Amino acid sequence: MQLEKSTLDTINTWLNGSYDQKTKTEIQSLLDKEATTELTDAFYRSLEFGTGGLRGIMGPGSNRINKYTIGTATQGLANYLNKKYKDEKISVAIAHDSRNNSDVFANITADVFSANGIKVYFFSALRPTPELSFAIRELGCKSGVMLTASHNPKEYNGYKAYGNDGGQFTAPDDKMVMDEVAAIKSIDEVKFNRVEINVETIGEEIDKLYLDKITALSVSPDAIAREHDLKIVYSPIHGTGITLVPKALAQFGFTNVTVVEEQSKPDGNFPTVVYPNPEEKEALTLALKKAAEIDADLVLATDPDADRVGIAVKNNDGEFELLNGNQTGSLLINYLLTAWEEKEKLTGNEYVVSTIVTTSLIKAICDAKGVEYYNTLTGFKWIGQVMTQLQGKKTFIAGGEESYGYLIGDLVRDKDAVISCAFIAEMTAFYKDKGSSLYQAMIDMYVTYGMYKEDLVSITKKGKTGAEEIKAMMEKFRNNPPAKLGGSDVVTLKDYELNKETDIKAGTSKELGFPKSDVLQFITEDDSIISARPSGTEPKIKFYCSVNTPLASAEDYKATEEKLAEKISEIMEDLQA
């Protein structure tokens, strides 16, 4: 395999440009070894500064996370801020997670902002992503950056960029920032020399403010007081959650929290797991073992930057069962609307938000409770955008997405596992106080609103060839959509890239009214929804499948679940045929 000329040109730019000697030595070593695949993946393009920032594998190269790609991103963001807020005082907040080099990259980010005359509020040590979002709003910052790759494998790192509302950038500002980053043609344009006077350290004072405001959101403190000794097992999976989740649970009033000792220390190598992802059962192995030992009521586990949370509860046989993101999100929203209703807090001006690939059960719950429901594109920034648009007009109760991210209250504009852990524990106490387990509450919810079951299949395609394969798969589905899925006719095709919804039987189309996004949705005659979407943060294509049917009684739960699982298997087979 030969290196393409454009790739070789980029390699030579790095070998001859203002890059440090260590970087140049590593690149030369790969050339000497004729590691063409590795060199191609590292240099065939510039790591794209997308609408959420950067994410990639760490190492030397234009398509890698390193001092220079982080510096370029920050210089572009600084240029955008200095143009947009000309003649205004500009400040930003910076935080980082427990990943290898996150602290180094956070300092580089601070260096570049400060060198561009921008005031930096710099968290003194690792902190959760949602606390950064909170700090941006609380401190009146124009922007903020979180150094994290969320739940990706240990070789990854990333850079999440936020706007002045504490949410990730949306149109038109996302494009403006991307254009400024793309406009930097040489590393010599990046100002790396820190101006110390422009950097202020922050920490515990923001923690206290954040925790106090979270606690004020509590809806059922009376139930917590009665069930304060609820047995909770918590794992931060070597991440930042350890800094705030135990404190939040204690401040809510929970007195019996067991932290998984082996996973309590922040460590970017994530030594006890394959992936630091609470969506993966393997990542909760130690937490489940501890829960069985102490006969816990609830298991909570957060990802490295503490914006996602996975949970496990005891089923009716006394065995721990992991709930997926749709189940937890539906339970949370059902609990909140029920508790608000009981406290006579619902006025008709409240709303809930979720995304197009999240379970439709949330909409069914909102409709039944008379609470307005909004649907957005995938990604929490879109939920944040709705919140910003409706600020001061309507009351946001909660939002959530299937990928284990939830938010209660409007303190933050991103998914928040700190708030979520506190409210999942509160919800568990609320139902226990009524003589029910969380598992039984879930079954009761299905009896009331219908049984919904979802599954997600992710296919990984790495590197340049993988990206091309994913693109080809989406083109195939776009040009030749399936006629039937799971034995039911596909009646509606939604193409978010083309902003078009097609009624297949009638042969008519209408606009979807969403921003452009590479997502396809097939809706069948029996109301199954199947979505195809390339991941924005990993080399994957994702297939989401949602099916539903009425549930006559709690006794029918297992049989109905098996029937829906079979249907999902049929649909997934049809997709890959």
Report how far residue 404's alpha carbon sits from residue 123's, in angstroms, rounded to the nearest whole number. Answer: 26
Residues 6+ apart with CB under 8 A from 175: none
Q: Residue 409 — φ and ψ, nearest 5°?
A: 80, 170
Separation between Cα atoms, residue 95 and residue 110, nearest integer Å: 10
Residue 189 zone, left/alpha/beta (φ > 0; ψ -120 to 50; rest): alpha
DSSP letter assigned to residue 168: B
CA 64 from centre of chain: 21
3-state secondary structure 184-198: CCCHHHCCCCCCHHH
CA separation for the pair 128, 156 (Å, rounded): 17
Measured between alpha carbons, how far is 390 from 330 in angstroms, rounded to an integer? 22
**Residue 400 belongs to what H/E stretch?**
strand 395-401
**Which of 90-127 are b and which e, b meaning 16 or more Cβ less than 10 Å from the residue's Cβ?**
bbbbbbbbbbbbbbebbbbbbbbbbbbebbbbbbeebb
Q: 287 and 260 in contact (C-beta within 8 Å)? A: yes
Residues 6+ apart with CB under 8 A from 375: 353, 354, 355, 356, 363
The structure tokens listed for 412 are: 């933050």
Cα torsion 77, 82, 83, 88 to 10°: value is: 140
The single residue of 62, 98, 143, 150 carrying the catalytic annotation is 150
Is 436 annotated as catalytic? no
CA distance 20 to 310: 41
CA-based nearest residue to 224, from 203, 255, 193, 195: 255
Asked if 353 and 387 touch (Cβ cutoff 8 Å), the reply is yes
Tokens of 93: 């907040």
Task: Assign 3-class secondary structure to 26-37.
Answer: HHHHHHHCCCHH
Query: Among 220, 222, 249, 221, which residue's Cα sits nearest to residue 233?
Result: 249
301 is written with which tokens? Answer: 């586990």
Active-site positions read 150
